[in-house]
Structure 1
Amino acid sequence: MIRILIIEDEIIIGRFIEQQLRNHFTCETRIAVSGAEAQTAMTEMLPHLLLCDIQLEDELSGIDLITDLRRSYAFEVIYITSYQTHSIIQKAAATHPANYLIKPIDETQLFAGVQLVISRLDSENLTGKPLLQPGNLFSQIELRILRLIREKKTTVEIAGTLHLSRYTIKNHRHNICRKLQLADENNALLKWVGQNGHLLK
């Protein structure tokens, strides 16, 4: 079941969103009205999707909160906000949201925005979990391969850089996918590296 965390400090809006989600989707929901509540919910719930207001009555904005949470958790985010300025949208875009909905939102707008994301979550299953600590999971050669994948290197290019055969690189990629519980294909691994490349120090 998809787990959705609603981060909204106006509880009436939060309840409206929650009711609409429950009406249209098979999902587990929770509302957090502050950054502190969101942090607790992330640990306890491990949501796949966050619907986050940008303007929170808190020390952190919604964008700052999402930036912080992305260091520890894998999830998708949809921003819900009344802000429409280019600067705010650009700042939000830097956190790679799945969607961006402008208040006031109605039932149809919310359904459309969330449905597209949930459809992708069902097929990819890369969210709703803490981020892995690569240093404890991968061998040094696997970490080097992941860093080269992050640089958009192909299997042949990686083999040349590391002075190994491409078959050896393919075997390492297979082992990496197995450790990450990913489908053994390039797109799944490329997406994981795209989302978690900052961990490959």
Structure 2
Amino acid sequence: MIRVLIVEDEIIIARFIELQLLNNFDCETRVAISPKEAREAMPDMQPHLLLCDINLCDEITGIALVAELKNSYSFETIFITSYQNKNIIEQASATNPANYIIKPVDEAQLFAGIQLVMTKIGLQQPATKEKASQAIEQLNNTEFMILREIRNQKTTKEIAKALHLSPYTIKNHRHNICRKLDLEEGNNALLKWVMQNQHLLK
């Protein structure tokens, strides 16, 4: 089932969006009315899609929040906002959103804006899960333990201490894990993979 996190500080709008999602799509939803609640929801929910307002009446915008969360998690984004300013849209585009819906939204507009993204996520899910399951079978016991430590947000130095190995050895293992999982080594790719596939690390 596709998991959708709605980040919207106006609770009436958030519940309207949630109702439309539940009425039209096979999905699990959760509402966060602030960046703090969104951050707290991410580790447990692991959403496939964020529907995020840009103006959250907080110290950061929805654009900045999405950029922050993408450092640790993998998900699609649809911005839902009243902003139509070219500069704002360009800033939002830098986070590579799947869509951008202008408020006020009605049922038809919301459905149209979400439908294609939901279809894309639905098509990706089985292939991604199967690929991840096959990839993890290539790992040895030490590499598997390292992934578990990464899931627990441990640094290379902390992992080395826990496994009684040198930081240099851990770095080599991380390099080998990335190669086996076909991941780029930069931009927290390994952490993102672990958070997205932590169900395989039990």
TM-score normalised to structure 1 length: 0.67
Q: Deviations over 1:143-166 (max 9, x none)?
A: xxxxxxxxxxxxxxxxxxxxxxxx
Q: Deviations over 1:67-99 (max 9, x none)?
A: 100000000000000001110000000000000
2:123 & 2:99 partners in 1: Cα distance? 18
1:168 maps to none
1:106 & 1:40 partners in 2: Cα distance? 29
Matching of residues 24-63 of structure 1 within 5 Å: 24-63=24-63
TM-superposed deviation, 1:138: 3.8
TM-superposed deviation, 1:200: 6.2
TM-superposed deviation, 1:24: 0.3
Q: Which runs of 4+ in 1 moved over 4 A?
A: none
3-state SS, counterpart of residue 198 of structure 1:
coil
Amino acid corresponding to residue 116 of structure 1 in structure 2: L
1:199 maps to 188
1:145 maps to none
Amino acid corresponding to residue 39 of structure 2 in structure 1: Q
| 2:176 alignment partner, one of 130, 139, 160 | 139
2:3 & 2:19 partners in 1: Cα distance? 14
Gap runs ≥5 in structure 2 = 130-149, 154-170, 191-202
TM-superposed deviation, 1:124: 1.4
1:83 maps to 83
1:115 & 1:140 partners in 2: Cα distance? 35
Percentage of pairs with the same residue: 53
Count of aligned residue pairs for this structure pair? 150
Answer yes or no: is 1:15 the counterpart of 2:15: yes
Amino acid corresponding to residue 34 of structure 1 in structure 2: S
1:153 maps to none
1:121 & 1:139 partners in 2: Cα distance? 29
TM-superposed deviation, 1:2: 0.5
2:21 & 2:58 partners in 1: Cα distance? 25
Matching of residues 75-154 of structure 1 within 5 Å: 75-125=75-125, 137-139=174-176, 142=179
1:97 & 1:22 partners in 2: Cα distance? 22
TM-superposed deviation, 1:137: 4.3
Distance 1:77 1:141, change over 3 A: closer
Distance 1:197 1:114, change over 3 A: farther
| 1:176 alignment partner, one of 164, 170, 181 | 181
